[in-house]
Structure 1
Amino acid sequence: MSLSNIYKKKPLVHCITNTVAANFTANGLLAIGASPIMADEAIEAEEMVRIADALLLNIGTLHETTAKTMLIAGKAANKKGIPVVLDPVAVGASLYRQQIVKEILAQIQIDCIRCNVGELAVIAGVPWESRGVDSGEGQIDIIETAKLVANTYNTLVFVTGSTDIVTNGKETFQIQGGNERITQVTATGCLLSAICAAGLAADDRNVATLQAVSSSYKRAAELAGEQPYIGSFQISLLNALERLSQGEKEWTLL
């Protein structure tokens, strides 16, 4: 699977995401040929799922309304049979976030949990010192913990970092590359979760699909990192994603 598959199939992704990331996530999906729906009203959640090819649940700016919407939409997505991706942003920052994530995992079959190592630790119940949306600090065997979470919830797990880890609990891949400046631009992780949803909708729901998404995103970050200033990074990342999705190999980023 590559971004070109998403570009060809043009899946529609229903994103229940956070206010910080909504605009960048929508533009990133459009850049690779997917279509975004950015709707978080509970009343229309089932209707939106009916026309969607995948669902993203992102708890970045969680509140009572979006929590309710996520549960309604997630159950509707399971009934329809479309992939559901959970991005448990800063799940360790509050008991409320932990409670909602537990409810989501208990009531909805999640196809992929896309998280950082700190979020993984919280979901697995491993002691960890969280720092808001950052990964925080602690000691953890990332691969074994990711496999544990994957097997516990019968889901794919995608842990991002300097080396990405993707696993289904049995097969595990490590993907290197990228550019550390991606951590200095908000919403890049949230966009990645949305691309995972698009990828799972456009291709097989397996670990190989996430491996391909990780490799493509890291390559896009490397290309964007050629720009000298952080303010150009976000734009260059979108440019790189668009061109990778269209099969371009060599170019000069503007």
Structure 2
Amino acid sequence: MAYPPLGDMLAALRETTPLVHCMTNYVAMNSTANLLLATGASPAMLHAPEEVAEFTALAGALSINIGTLSTPWAESMQLAARTANASQTPWVLDPVAVGATAFRQQVCQALLPHWPSVIRANASEVMALTGLASQGRGVDATASTDDAAHAAISLAQRQHCIVAMTGETDFLTDGTHHFRLTGGHPLMPRVTTLGCGLSALVAGFVAANREHPLTATLAALACFSIAGHRAGQRADGPGSFQVALLDALYQLTPDDLSSLSQVEALHAV
């Protein structure tokens, strides 16, 4: 199967500047907005039930992150996801620590019937969503992407969506086509909310490339991988890394994305 160059996905993002409606956690709002702006998308952070449905219908994509859940936020997320499904607006689910509490499991189980376009999660979260694990240690992954590859494929097939499972090595699947992505830098797990920002960035890429959601998701992950590697070469620690990552995302070119991505298509898992 032929896929367009990853660089085309970044070029489309910067040409269209998609508006991404981010329903994300308190910790991630600022950093997520900056990551989107640095890469070329436009962020908005809205949670009030009085306006989320109206705004979701106007946005290019929706990103839902359950990091700091509350009952009012969960209700707003339901409204937004329902609207996205009805209006055919692509949306991304980031099921933060879904295996940690019954409340998180219930919220995610209520969101899944609204058919997210992409689920972006770590291995433990993927396994929790597929019922293969009932416990998770906060937002940290306790399983590797290799351990959870079959769970990711099963989840993608069940939900008719793309599953982007990120970690030391990333695994991407639509249930039929599978990819492994390497790169990044060891400092990335030392900076909070990078995964949250990546989920929103996936939403932006899919909004700008609706005809190629799988390639768009892969391009978003590749952006983070290349930029993370470059930022790590300049940084002295987590603080300077965060600043360097924003600069690296801003400086990334479509040619960089097409030539430097460490992507492997997998024929069997």
Which of the five TM-score ranges fits, normalised by the shorter chain?
A: over 0.9
Candidates 30, 37, 46, aligned match of 1:39: 46
Q: How does 1:54-69 map to 2 (within 5 A)?
A: 54-69=61-76
Change (3 A) 1:161 1:248: closer
Question: In structure 2, what is the equivalent of residue 156 of structure 1?
Answer: 162
Q: Quick one: which of 100, 103, 106 aligns to 1:96?
A: 103
Measure how far apart 1:4 and its partner are.
Answer: 3.0
Deviations 1:175-198 (A, max 9, x none): 011112100100100010001000
* 1:163 and 1:176 in contact (8 A); partners too: yes
- 3-state SS, counterpart of residue 21 of structure 2: strand
**For structure 1, which segment, 180-189 or 202-211, has the greater mean C-alpha deviation from structure 2 after superposition?**
202-211
Q: Is the 8 A contact 1:168 1:206 kept in 2?
A: no
Show CA shifts across 1:108-154 (max 9, x none).
11100000001011001113642101012589732211100000111
Q: Is the 8 A contact 1:129 1:138 kept in 2?
A: no
Corresponding residue for residue 264 of structure 2: none
Match of 1:252 in 2: none
Structure 2 residue runs of 5 or longer lacking an equivalent are 1-5, 258-269
Report the RMSD for the aligned CA atoms in angstroms. Answer: 1.8
Indicate how the Cα distance of structure 1 residues 22 and 143 shifts in structure 2: closer, same or farther if over 3 A, else same. Answer: same
Alignment of 1:6-155 (within 5 A): 6-106=13-113, 108-127=114-133, 129-137=135-143, 141-155=147-161
**Distance (whole Å) between structure 1 residues aligned to residue 169 and residue 214 of structure 2:** 16
Report the 3-state secondary structure (helix = DSSP H, G, I; strand = E; otherwise coil) of the residue aligned with 2:187. Answer: helix
8 Å CA contact 1:128–1:137 kept in 2: the answer is no
Distance 1:186 1:151, change over 3 A: same
Cα distance in 2 between the residues matched to 1:174 and 1:138? 13
The structure 2 residue matched to 1:239, chosen from 243, 247, 259, is 247
Give the counterpart letter for 2:98 in structure 1: V
Equivalent position to 2:237, from 226, 229, 232: 229
User: Measured at CA, do residues 66 and 245 of structure 1 come closer, stay the same or move farther in structure 2, by a change above 3 Å?
Assistant: farther
CA 1:248 to 1:149, structure 2 compared with 1: closer, same or farther past 3 Å? closer
Cα gap change, 1:54 to 1:48, in 2 (>3 Å):
same
Aligned residues: 248
Q: 2:178 aligns with which of 172, 182, 186?
A: 172
Percent of aligned positions that are identical:
39
Verify: 1:217 aligned to 2:224, yes or no. Answer: yes
Displacement after TM superposition at 1:209 (Å): 1.8
Inter-partner Cα distance in structure 1 for 2:256 and 2:145: 40
Partner of 1:201: 207
Q: TM-score, normalised by structure 1?
A: 0.93
CA contact (8 A) 1:91 1:97 kept: yes
Q: Distance in 2 between matches of 1:242 and 1:66?
A: 31
Amino acid aligned to 1:26: A
Q: Deviations over 1:82-121 (max 9, x none)?
A: 1010000011111000000000002x11100000001011
Give the letter aligned to residue 240 of structure 1: A
Amino acid at match of 2:85: N
Q: Which runs of 5+ in 1 are unaligned?
A: 250-254
> Structure 1's 205 and 43: CA in aligned 2 closer, same or farther, altered over 3 A?
farther
